[in-house]
Amino acid sequence: MPAAFDLNGSHYDHVCTFKHDFFAATGMYASGENQVVLKIGRRVSFLGMPLAWVGRMLAHHEADQMSRLIGLPGVPAVVGVWEAHGLVHEFIPGHTLEKGEMVPDIFFDELRTLLAAMHAQGIAYVDLEKPQNVLVGEDGKPYLIDFQISWPWPVGKWGQLLLGRVLGKRLIQGDRYHVQKLQRRVRPDQMSESEIKESYRRPWPVRLHQRVIRPGALLRRWVLAKVDPKRKVGERGRVDEETLGGVIR
């Protein structure tokens, strides 16, 4: 990641790197007391295949989705774009959601409210399967990061007729299922026995997604394990707390 960059008349210096995986590198930068996050999409080839276009496409897609949600509590504000592959957004002090963590009682109600507001604007989050994408802010509220694969659909008349009833409904169903699954892993004490049983019933779009995506994900993990055999625990590419030197994420 760059040691520094300039954007919108401000100079930002690198503070720490949060994650550096196959698709992107993410780190925190500061301009005085102002802290931001820079996420850079992949810019180099892999096994001879040019992948810079993928990083550029994902960066622009993520910037577009987050920009559509400006002002929505729980979504970091977009600061701007950096070069062709970088997205800069607001830094949210907090930590990633952990299994068994005693989050506030209203945490998952607020997360559902946040998702409902996104759905009303025609965007499904899609990537809630990873708890690392949910931040517990220092204020105890939920925040979503990583809108790289979030899916938009038209919310106008034709969008409701053609896409909203089919694709949008299925994606919303997937988001709701994953919130229920997260709640089971984090605060099962808030759920009834029937709700816990329901959280194990995967909607067919989720099952289909896993059957299609899972083989490719396993292949990618196998390749990365060969490239980086020392990285055996945790989420690949994420920098550990010791390396961060105590920086609060």
Select from 201, 183, 195 the least CA-distant residue to 102: 183
Same structural domain for residues 87 and 101? no
Q: How many domains does the chain have?
A: 2
Choosing from 65, 91, 117, the residue where a domain stops is 91
Do 95 and 135 touch, CB atoms closer than 8 A?
A: yes
Whether 208 is covered by a domain: the verdict is no
Confidence of residue 247 (pLDDT cuts 50, 70, 90): very low
Same structural domain for residues 62 and 152? no
Q: How far is CA 147 from CA 68, 118, 125, in A?
A: 11, 12, 7
Instruction: For residues 87 and 80, give the distance between their C-alpha atoms in angstroms, rounded to a whole number.
Output: 6
CATH of the domain at 27: 3.30.200.20
pLDDT tops 60 at residue 199 = yes
Same structural domain for residues 105 and 144? yes
Enclosing domain of residue 148: 93-201
Q: What tens digit of pLDDT does each residue of 14-43 get?
A: 999 998 888 899 999 999 999 999 999 989
CATH of the domain at 132: 1.10.510.10
Select from 241, 139, 230, 133 the least CA-distant residue to 182: 133
Average pLDDT, the chain: 84
| Residues of the chain by 3-state class (helix, strand, coil), percent to 5 | 40, 25, 35
Q: What is the mean pLDDT of residues 80-90?
A: 94
Q: Is 189 exposed, middle or buried (0-12, 13-18, 19+ CB in 10 A)?
A: exposed
Same structural domain for residues 87 and 161? no
% of the chain with per-residue pLDDT over 90:
54
Same structural domain for residues 111 and 81? no
Same structural domain for residues 41 and 103? no
